[in-house]
A and B are shown apart, each in its own frame.
Chain A
Amino acid sequence: MTEEHIVTSFDDELRELTDGLIHLGGLAQIALANVEKSLKMNDHDLAKKTIEADKQINALQFELEEMTFNILAKRQPMANDLRSVFSSVKIILFLERIGDMCKGVCKRIAKGDLLNAKSPKTIDALVGLTKDVQNNLDLVLDDYAQGKADNALNVWRSDIKIDSSYASILTAILEDIRNKPEAIEALVPLFFIARYLERIGDQATNIAEVNHFIVTGEVLTDDRKLEAEEKTVF
């Protein structure tokens, strides 16, 4: 809906909230890009910088939550406004968690013993996993910025792939642990990193579902997802 509210300050507040969310999304994207780079290059400095930068995400989260809180109290939004304000509360949380998890990955990297695992293949696989997750996050944030949910189903489908890559990475790590018990201290962090990345992927899927809700007012249940999935198989 492009038409403006009668109360123009309400439009200003909604725009400020949306812009703020896009900004928060941008910070999460940067954090995730840094994860990818630090992993690939074993870049401890970048990892440490990313840990530090999470404070910015938390500060913005707080600010945006305040904004949402005030809009709810002042405007008592309805219909599409209600959907978007309610949804922003959820998206803020999802993005904040992505920030947290990127921080978690970077902490493992910054400790500096990943190379001792001597599993370049697993590192490569983790980098690949990060790229898939990044791609999903980009898609859902693009959708959000444009007020669309076009990519919701794609993201959901791609998350299934992410889950299965995650599972095979775990299997590989377990095998490594069996074969090289002496490297266990370096292998366990890889295990955690994989887990974080898989959960970041889940957050992207959550955002996709919220986008779908904003646009349609309907909750994307697992049944509905399956239905849509079946329809697109042929």
Chain B
Amino acid sequence: MNDQLNNKSLIQCSNVNVFYADQQALFDINLDIRENEVTSLIGPSGCGKSTFLRCINRMNDVIDICKVEGSISIDNQNIYDPEVDVVELRSRIGMVFQKPNPFPKSVYDNVAYGPKLHGRILHQEDLDRKVQESLERAGLWSEVKDRLHEPGTSLSGGQQQRLCIARAIAIDPSVILMDEPCSALDPIATAKIEELIDELKSKYTITIVTHSMQQAARVSQRTAFFHLGKLIEVGDTEKIFRSPEHEQTEAYVTGRYG
């Protein structure tokens, strides 16, 4: 059960502080995210999970009033270094959101978009292969192989979410960020995504925000609990749901948080 533990850390966050205008949203976050593991971020609404996730691919840059301090290193490179090419950085980090958000394009083009954008794939047959491979890895290929040229939005919600995952992995990221990827899905679609996450972790480092402690327990090896912008506790997921160190963590995971 613990075979995935103690992988080396891929992402190091040190003293991360985030402000929206003069409102501070995150306070001195120090967190290491290990390679080829799934790390869950849990905590009550508004505690800063999404804000933290958006720090990792510098999505906060697009929010004018948002200011990020501290450092986040991926593969020993500080991604907030002025020399970092943000487009290139985002090509190494896939992101999946709460609501499936396929582009208003065909299934095929949704997946082909990233590789084309980053100019990685020049030949049509390579692109075809990439699209198929990504859809296969996202567990969607058999369901859509005859519908590749239908709009992505014509798929069911669960299929759309797997399409978004296919889109995210088509760019060969090393990191995948997921912000409540199952909250709009039924139990079957949720189970498929969870199964997928489990398979993907051998190739990618995954960080997932979830409101379900049971989901965190099922999919992740490490869990970080945030509360009011602070990282209260991080540890092996098993430890967090079995006997967390901090009373606040216990109160939250047992549903006593008032």
Contacts and interface: CB of A to CB of B under 8 A. Distances in A.
A83 B242 contact: yes
A78 B256 contact: no
A77 B217 CA distance: 12
Interface residues of B, number: 18
A5 B214 contact: no
A78 B253 contact: yes
B82 interface: no
Interface residues of A, number: 18
B242 A217 contact: yes
Contact of B243 (A6, A7, A77, A216): A216
Given A6-B255, A6-B256, A10-B255, A79 B247 contact: no
A79 B243 contact: yes
A4 B256 contact: yes
B254 A78 contact: yes
A12 interface: no
Contacts, number: 48
A5 B255 contact: yes
Interface string A2-14: 0111110010000
B242 A7 contact: no
> Chain A's interface: helix, strand, loop or mixed, by majority?
loop
A80 B250 contact: yes
B257 A1 contact: no
Given A1-B251, A76-B214, A78-B213, A6 B242 contact: no
A6 B241 CA distance: 18
A79 B241 CA distance: 5
A183 interface: no
Interface in A61-93: 76-83
Interface string B82-114: 000000000000000000000000000000000
A79 B214 contact: no
B173 interface: no
A106 to B, nearest CB: 40
A192 B253 CA distance: 48
B244 interface: yes
Interface in B209-258: 213-214, 217, 240-244, 247, 249-251, 253-258
Interface of B: 213-214, 217, 240-244, 247, 249-251, 253-258
Q: Which 3 A-B pairs have the closest CB atoms?
A: A217-B243, A78-B253, A3-B256
